[in-house]
A and B are shown apart, each in its own frame.
Chain A
Amino acid sequence: LSGRGKGTQTQGLSPERAQEILKKNGPNALTPPPTTPEWVKFCRQLFGGFSILLWIGAILCFLAYGIQVHYKEDSTKDNLYLGMVLAIVVMITGCFSYYQEAKSSKIMESFRNMVPQQALVIRAGEKMQINVEDVVVGDLVEVKGGDRIPADLRLISTQGCKVDNSSLTGESEPQTRSPDFTHENPLETRNICFFSTNCVEGTARGIVIATGDSTVMGRIATLTSGLVVGKTPIAAEIEHFIQLITGVAGFLGVSFFVLSLILGYGWLEAVIFLIGIIVANVPEGLLATVTVCLTLTAKRMSRKNCLVKNLEAVETLGSTSTICSDKTGTLTQNRMTVAHMWFDKTIYEADTSEEQTGKTFAKGSTTWFILARIAALCNRADFKPNQETLPIAKRATTGDASESALLKFMEQSYSSVKEMREQNPKVAEIPFNSTNKYQMSIHLQEDGSQAHVLMMKGAPERILEFCSTYLLKGKEYPMDDEMKKNFQNAYLELGGLGERVLGFCFLNLPSTFSKGFRFNTDEINFPMENLCFVGLISMIDPPRAAVPDAVGKCRSAGIKVIMVTGDHPITAKAIAKGVGIISEGNETAEDMAARLQVPVSQTNPREAKAIVVHGSDLKDMTSEQLDEILKNHTEIVFARTSPQQKLIIVEGCQRQGAVVAVTGDGVNDSPALKKADIGIAMGISGSDVSKQAADMILLDDNFASIVTGVEEGRLIFDNLKKSIAYTLTSNIPEITPFLLFIILSIPLPLGTITILCIDLGTDMVPAISLAYESAESDIMKRAPRNPKNDNLVNNRLIGMAYGQIGMIQALAGFFTYFVILAENGFKPIDLLGIRLNWEDRFFNDLEDSYGQQWTYEQRKVLEFTCQTAFFVSIVVVQWADLIICKTRRNSVFQQGMKNNILIFGIMEETFLAAFLSYTPGMDVALRMYPLKLPWWLCAIPYSVLIFVYDEIRKLTIRRHPGGWLERETYY
């Protein structure tokens, strides 16, 4: 082992050598497990879902043709053609769905690659971040807590390193790692870390001993490949829907098959009816539409900084009813910022917004001048080099969070800290530690007086102890009780805001300590008492600007936002109030007690809507008690919680029947992320492990993006519903012609080919265009859907599509059909029972209502003209249907017609219908005939009726929320 790592223990490989090895060994990645071969996927598209029904139809057609050929020599080839058309249709839709699926999985793949795994390697003595794939054997690698181990490593140095080998050994307990060789077995020894396991805490440095497939994980992975992926809710919904439709199609088909046999039709005819009914019932284009909708949304979400790892997660996010959010980084900006200052006995507010527009405060005061100097000079933080171009707030700094906050604040509001420090060189300092609770430094005065000034900052109460005077408008006054009281009040007030407060004081050292004096900080040889108190500065990690709005949106959307944080309860509560998780006017039991001035135990905790639960209390709670809290409080903050407790909270919420979204960034969050209905990892601050466990990654770590995601999720569900409602509606005008043809023995009003023209031609683009529909105004104002009983396709949707709009559409079609027949000589009454003579090809003098006589071909042309007109009528009523499907509750006048793709869809279906009707040669190819202009208008009254009826229905629903009509027809 050491041989391999020779000479590389500190310098690492040279980049050239690394390139060589990379070329020889290949990239450090597992050969992907043999995925489902493409042809299997293709076959699944070809034979799955509705396709199988259509195949049955096609086979029946061929059978019917075969029988006809066998018994009659001069049989027509209609059935042969129909069978071929069906087969071609299935193949084309299969290809289209396959193409769509391939495209969407490619997009998802690219999403996954957008969060590449990085590894920190040392090459030629330089630390660099490279892609994990480029790590080679012999590389010197550094890992820290939260990282995924980039390759099999032999450790050479560690600091409290623990790894989680559960992905390899199933052992969930983190194991300590050290450079010592402890066991013969590589799996047991402590000095080896394995590829794709996780470093939980500490840091380690090691040399890569194996990469890619030759790693231990690689060898195991090649044995057992792939994870069984369960069905996501929307996949289940769609499958449920397919089963439903297939069931209906099968039931109707078989019952009419039997009925037609009873009515005395031949076997052959009955089979042809069966085919027609199946074709009419199956929404052939729907599955392709659904895939298109989902892909579209995933793309749209990634533009809004939500990276979706699996397509269906979008929809789950939409049904979220509880969000458990982290505080730091998600709700807040994750950078300490100066929020308030207290000097001259006044509290001044500083600007904490992300843009830092800079609020003005008493900058003219001498006290401010001194305070700023102390804050800038008595400060160990510094800007990292080479970022002068960045805005101050965005610059990276060294040093702890509060010092950085002070540094940035002073740079922003006062003057260049660098210059200040150059003019006032530091001669001595005592750094901050937790026993002292202060930090002190001594600087040379800049005015050239050779005198020194002692500056101190620290915990306010400690600072006050050092002081005997205080500064007010630049003048020193002796410390008195009033000042002390003022100080106490300010300190309490700022502390109550959840802010970290620091006190500042100074002392101009007497001239005996002028330039050249050697200050000794170990044995103090200078005065450190009777200092002059200047003021307080308080800092907070301020909430992100968009968060309060987002939380408000969640609240109106019926989503409970629970804050789960490791922070101090007071800070947590302050931020919760700041962002609206605890809304204005709501108070916790403690607040109530303080207001009523009674002990907490005497208040009724039920009266308080809000609660802050301390992690240590949570630890002692039974699950019933937790349930009680979750049930009775609308606004909950969990403070000082451990990641393990996060899991308990998630489980508690799920026990309430909630769909829980959880954010997390740490390694320890991954169980909670996995347990949640939807896990959300942070793209910037999140560890690799959390990103792997999550279903979604927020690229900007912003809580507001979750809300956008929820909105998108709801939108896609709504739009899918609309799209399905639209597509299903035309099933009724497609199927009723067959039923009446059989029952009333009238000439067939709509043929199989024309049905296919609707399903796969004119209905396709409009159905897809509904995916582009913008949200209705109530999308974030209604409660989240209940996944148990609010299905994608529910009986209200079926009732609307089949029972109401579909029926109007069918009437429109039949009206047009009767108009054409009547205008050509066949009055409705004479049509009843005409079928047998009508279909007799040797009956060439069939009499119409006027006594004229028709040959078989002449009346067939008329029949096909009627079918074309029926088809056109469906297109005309589908215009109205498309427009009413744009909204579920709002009026179209509120929603507007801004969806250009939808307008294009209407045009497209109209042009396609005209094309099919008027193109020369269509009479031979599809048996569609040109229509006279008035026949286009027959369906218009019904189109208007659909529009008016639905507008009235929606108006009633809006006027009477929760009323009967809403319960029965709001899908």
Chain B
Amino acid sequence: MVIQKEKKSCGQVVEEWKEFVWNPRTHQFMGRTGTSWAFILLFYLVFYGFLTAMFTLTMWVMLQTVSDHTPKYQDRLATPGLMIRPKTENLDVIVNVSDTESWDQHVQKLNKFLEPQKNDVCRPGRYYEQPDNGVLNYPKRACQFNRTQLGDCSGIGDPTHYGYSTGQPCVFIKMNRVINFYAGANQSMNVTCVGKRDEDAENLGNFVMFPANGNIDLMYFPYYGKRFHVNYTQPLVAVKFLNVTPNVEVNVECRINAANIATDDERDKFAGRVAFKLRINKT
């Protein structure tokens, strides 16, 4: 077997490329004539048109099977997460007492977050169930969350701007919404906060919780979904840190104590708990 080796010069390669792009003899552009291009493009147009139609059809069929009311599966949301407000990047709440601008945006956000809504007054201590009973009961009514429950952190007539201007900031803790989740399993539940390590606990100092004990009432559950549960207001727990050691970063961890919420997920650091950093800079 004899193997010929052809070495092409650079010029030849360029020449071949030129001829490939436009061949004046055969009127071929990129190896195809105009009609040939037209045919192949038409083919792919039809082919992809058909595929798009098929994809759209299957997607449509799928979306028909998905209810507007509740998602089909919720097993990934078995444990609702906790989150804080003000929400900051990296979850660091940094307050420069003298620097108004540093916390002003937090205050703006909180003001917006706590804007009052006109909702029902419900009976505390039990779930506010609104079953469909065969007929769609819609829209669902939502329970009122009274800001006054938040006491010093309610921001009502508060010259200290949620304590930010005095170095005693309020941090709000909320639980993630999960449709049809009966948080607490008919028992009362509350939020507790601690310093993560011993030195954090020391630096953290005293704090007060609103409502008292960090209780979350059952009447805010269950949640029926964005579409049906218009104006739903989430219950909140506020923590006011009274004497945090200034100029030190403090790791705080808050968790919810409820019968049906596990807070020990190794992987998910936000399942039933939330960790954030608190730093109060004073000069």
Where the two chains meet, the residues of A that have a C-beta atom closer than 8 Å to any C-beta of B are: 230-233, 310, 313, 316, 674-679, 695, 803-804, 807-808, 811, 814-815, 818-819, 822-825, 827-828, 842, 844-845, 847-858, 861-862, 865, 932, 941, 945, 964, 968
Contacts and interface: CB of A to CB of B under 8 A. Distances in A.
Contact of A854 (B72, B81, B179): B81
Nearest to B4: A230
Interface in B35-68: 39-40, 43-44, 47-48, 51, 54-55, 58-59, 62-63, 66
B54 A811 contact: yes
Nearest to A923: B267
26 contacts: A230-B3, A231-B3, A676-B2, A677-B1, A811-B51, A811-B54, A814-B55, A822-B66, A823-B72, A824-B71, A845-B83, A850-B71, A850-B226, A852-B178, A852-B179, A852-B223, A854-B81, A856-B268, A856-B270, A857-B268, A858-B77, A858-B81, A861-B76, A862-B76, A941-B58, A968-B43
B271 A855 contact: yes
A753 B190 CA distance: 41
A677 B227 contact: no
A191 B63 CA distance: 95
A695 B51 CA distance: 49
Contacts of B40: 968
Contact of B179 (A316, A804, A823, A850): A850
B244 to A, nearest CB: 21
A858 B1 contact: no
A855 B5 CA distance: 62
A949 B15 CA distance: 40
Given A818-B62, A825-B71, A854 B77 contact: yes
A679 B3 CA distance: 13
B215 interface: no
Nearest to B80: A853
A941 B223 CA distance: 36
Contacts of B106: none
B70 interface: yes
A811 B81 CA distance: 33
A825 B44 CA distance: 34
Interface in B238-282: 265, 267-271, 274
A141 to B, nearest CB: 32
Question: 10 closest A-B pairs (Cβ-Cβ)?
Answer: A851-B226, A855-B81, A857-B268, A853-B176, A230-B3, A825-B71, A823-B72, A855-B270, A845-B83, A844-B270
A817 B138 CA distance: 31
Contacts of B141: none
Interface of B: 1-3, 5, 39-40, 43-44, 47-48, 51, 54-55, 58-59, 62-63, 66, 70-74, 76-77, 80-83, 89-91, 174, 176-179, 223, 225-227, 229, 232, 265, 267-271, 274
Contacts of B77: 825, 852, 854, 858
Contact of B59 (A675, A803, A818): A818
B70 A850 contact: yes
B259 to A, nearest CB: 20
Interface centre among A316, A814, A825, A854 (most CB of B within 10 A): A825
Given A845-B81, A854-B77, A803 B71 contact: no
B25 to A, nearest CB: 17
A932 B74 CA distance: 13
Nearest to B224: A851
Given A825-B77, A850-B70, 20 more contacts: A676-B1, A676-B2, A695-B1, A803-B44, A807-B51, A811-B55, A815-B55, A822-B63, A823-B71, A825-B71, A842-B91, A844-B81, A844-B274, A845-B83, A851-B223, A852-B71, A852-B77, A855-B81, A858-B77, A968-B39
Nearest to B48: A807
Given A824-B76, A857-B269, A677 B81 contact: no
Contact of B72 (A803, A824, A849, A855): A824
Contacts of B82: 844
Given A858-B81, A945-B54, A851 B177 contact: yes
Contacts of B177: 847, 851-853
A197 to B, nearest CB: 22
A851 B2 contact: no
Given A316-B1, A827-B66, A932-B73, A815 B176 contact: no
A475 B16 CA distance: 85
Given A676-B1, A822-B62, A828-B59, A852 B176 contact: yes
Contacts of B71: 823-825, 848-850, 852
Contacts of B174: 845
A855 B66 contact: no
Contacts of B267: 857
Contacts of B271: 855, 857-858
A674 B2 CA distance: 7
| A676, A678, A854, most chain B CB atoms within 10 A | A854
Contacts of B63: 822, 827-828
A152 B2 CA distance: 30
A390 B225 CA distance: 93
Contacts of A313: 1
A256 to B, nearest CB: 21
Contacts of B43: 968
A310 B66 CA distance: 61
Contacts of A941: 54, 58
